[in-house]
Amino acid sequence: MRLLTGLLLTLCATLCHAATLTIDTGHGPRTLTTEQLLARPDVREISIPGDVSYHRTMPYRAVPMKALLDGVAPGSHLQFTALDGFTAEIPGSLVLDAHGAEAWLAVEPPGKPWPALGDGKPSAGPFYLVWLHPEAGHVGTEQWPYQVASVRVLGDPASRFPAMRPAPGLAANDPITKGFAVFQRNCITCHTLNGQGDAKLGPDLNIPHSPTEYLRDDMLRTLVRNPQDMRHWPQAKMPGFDRQTLSDADLDDLVAYFKHMAGRKATP
């Protein structure tokens, strides 16, 4: 028993020290370990009030995210992919020049794990994108990816996934156009649409059916605001989007986009 316990402790210690982050800015991927990140001269002790994932003030050892993106243009687009398949699509300008909002990569120290995110759940580690002064950059809750495994510079979703785009010729202030922007900011992290997208957590939102085809508008709004009010399921992963995160106007635009895309299904 003592030998088995020792082996388990050794394995745990190995895993704690084995966390790696892959960053690809377009010149080939590079891998950084927990130890390398914590040894950087720009690592800082920071305190995040009202942490989105922990819902309280949290202390972290963290590295300025933009310091890890040397040479990346503000007009670039960043994709943060988590261990569970969650993908956060974040404009490079939000990380590199957010007019006061500061993006930090929090690094979970080996042997000192952060608290679990809930009963039976892991922590937000090994890497977690957190923000100081997020209100200055209008940073949304979906732009706090945790359990980050990789960061890549890619084209924006509209260019990578043409089947998601609404019909050409719509004005920039058309509700459908604005709804597509809402979809990219809040939904693409977990869902595909018309079979396109990198997320692997939720179902496709247009094939075989758009949610607007089987839910009344009020029920769809209920689902978005608080999924547990629609379907009570303890294992559900979809978060609710309150009005601070998603305004009523944004939700109206999102529904308009879904209704529009219901008539633009891609051929399977």
Q: What is the pLDDT of residues 219-241, one digit of tens each?
A: 999 989 887 777 766 666 677 78
For the chain, how many residues are written?
268
Q: What is the pLDDT of residues 52-107, one digit of tens each?
A: 999 999 999 999 999 999 889 888 999 999 998 888 889 999 999 877 999 999 99
Which CATH number, 1.10.260.40, 3.40.1010.10, 3.30.1330.120, 3.90.420.10, labels domain 19-155?
3.90.420.10
CA distances from 107 to 10, 31, 110, 112, 209 (A): 21, 14, 9, 11, 40
- The letter for the amino acid at 123 is S
- Write out the two tokens for 14: 């190995």
Q: Is the peptide bond before 208 cis (omega within 30 degrees of 0)?
A: yes
What is residue 2's predicted lDDT score, i.e. its pLDDT?
Answer: 39
User: Domain 158-262: which topology?
Assistant: Immunoglobulin-like (2.60.40)
CA distance 176 to 223: 20
pLDDT at 12 over 50: no
> For the chain, where do the domains classified as CATH 2.60.40.420 start and end?
158-262
The more confident residue out of 3 and 222 is 222
pLDDT at 10 over 50: no
CA distance 188 to 57: 28
Q: What is the pLDDT of residues 157-180, one digit of tens each?
A: 888 899 999 999 999 999 999 999
Cross-strand pairs, 46: 60
pLDDT at 44 over 90: yes
- Cα–Cα–Cα angle for 51, 52, 56, rounded to 5 degrees: 40
> For the chain, where do the domains classified as CATH 3.90.420.10 start and end?
19-155
CA distance 62 to 60: 6
Nearest C-alpha neighbor of 127 from the set 110, 113, 146: 146
